[in-house]
Amino acid sequence: MPAEPTPAGPSVDVDTTMLRIAADKLDSLFADAAKRLSDTDNAIASTGRGWTENARSSFDRFTGYVDTRRVSLLTNIAGLSEALVAAAIAYETQDHANATDIAASG
């Protein structure tokens, strides 16, 4: 629900606790995904001996692709979590600055 506009522009109402909770959930997702993807990578890697010499380069390309996608996914999850925490900090900092300005003006 949008907050009411103020003379200084539209008001923003952000629940920083919810931002931090969402970041914590992403951190849990990161840990779970990292474990599961590592298990999958290990299972795939253990099948490499079953590939013929001619197919080995294709297997290596495939495992390289899977590894790149795993790193990308985990990097993006971590980035989202960090962005949520940074947003919470920025909103809290701005709220504190605004409260200080209001108190000083009297």
C-alpha torsion 105→92→17→32, nearest 10: 180
Give, in order, the Cα–Cα distances in Å from 93 to each of 8, 10, 16, 60, 82.
18, 18, 11, 49, 16
pLDDT, residue 75, reads 98
Q: Is a pLDDT exceeding 80 seen at residue 69? A: yes
The predicted model scores a pTM of: 0.78
**If we measure between CA atoms, which residue out of 1, 24, 27, 23 comes closest to residue 12?**
1
What pLDDT score does 99 carry? 85
What's residue 51's pLDDT? 87
Is 1 a residue whose pLDDT tops 70?
A: no
Strands (E), 2-102: 5-6, 9-10
What is residue 14's predicted lDDT score, i.e. its pLDDT?
92
Domain ranges of the chain: 15-105
**Which of 26, 17, 19 lies closest to 77 in space, CA to CA?**
26
Indicate the fold that domain 15-105 takes in CATH.
Helix Hairpins (1.10.287)
pLDDT in tens, 11-54: 778 999 999 999 999 999 999 999 999 999 999 988 988 888 88
Local structure of 3: helix, strand or coil: coil
